[in-house]
Amino acid sequence: MFKDNKKFVAESIFIKEALKQGLSLNEFLLLLYFDNSFDPIFNIKVISKALSLSEEKILEAYSNLMSKKIIKVKAEKDDEGKIVERVSLEKFYNEIKSDNKKQELESDRKDIFSIFESEFGKTLSAMDYEIINAWIDKGFSEEIIVAALKEAVYNGVCSLRYIDKVLYEWNKKGYKTIEQVNNRFNDEQKDENKLFETSILNFDWLNEK
């Protein structure tokens, strides 16, 4: 399809995003051309030759990509100090990164659900999923949630309500990381020691009966 046997490489994530955007074949080919170009300048004659498409079709695809805000043109200086207009795919790449991040979050959530099912020894209900998702949406990290789960299991209380209470108390005390949770025993011991020392100092030893 391409002249001079020039090879254009498209990663699977690139193709998936193009399909998501609903690009036509010509729009996809033009976008692929810019993605593979070392210096993505819109030179219609060079592009037409590389893609074996008419200049009219290239211009149409280019206009569509611009109107869809998938690409934009940035004015930059070249090595000689001259102003040149280069095509930027930054927005398209950011969409790919955003989709990947969402997929990673979904994958992580599946993992945390598996941990709950393993610890509880049962399949989670739809309500259980909603509660766990609500914790994540409120900003609780997964490691904190798992730590609260471990706390519940250790105390023999396999209850989401109990875990919710643990998370509430930790949040109230400002515990945001697993390190702070792990160090809480030391903090509680220090508080107990201070309370004991205060009671000793304030005790009226002379009037003890």
Handedness of CA 137, 141, 143, 146 (dihedral sign): negative
From 59, 93, 127, give the residue that closes a domain: 93
Give the domain extent around 36.
3-93
**CATH (domain of 50):** 1.10.10.10
- Given a cut of 50, is residue 208 above it in pLDDT? no
- Given a cut of 50, is residue 25 above it in pLDDT? yes
Q: Is residue 112 part of a domain?
A: yes
Closest listed residue to residue 11, CA positions, set 98, 93, 90? 93
From 93, 110, 137, give the residue that closes a domain: 93
Predicted confidence band of residue 196 (pLDDT cuts 50, 70, 90) = very low
Q: In sequence order, what are the residues at sequence separation of 6 or more whose Cβ sits closer than 8 angstroms to the Cβ of residue 71? A: 31, 34, 65, 87, 88, 89, 91, 92
**Quick one: pLDDT at residue 27?**
94
- Given a cut of 60, is residue 203 above it in pLDDT? no
Number of domains in the chain: 2
Distance CA 201, CA 73 (A): 75
The verdict on 61 and 105 lying in the same domain is: no
From 93, 122, 153, give the residue that closes a domain: 93
The verdict on 81 and 131 lying in the same domain is: no
Q: Is residue 208 part of a domain?
A: no
Distance CA 141, CA 156 (A): 23
pTM: 0.48
Predicted confidence band of residue 24 (pLDDT cuts 50, 70, 90) = very high
Q: Is residue 67 part of a domain?
A: yes
How far CA 89 is from CA of 17, 70, 116, 162, in Å, comes to 12, 7, 41, 49
Is pLDDT larger for residue 3 or for residue 11? 11
The verdict on 105 and 73 lying in the same domain is: no
The verdict on 68 and 106 lying in the same domain is: no
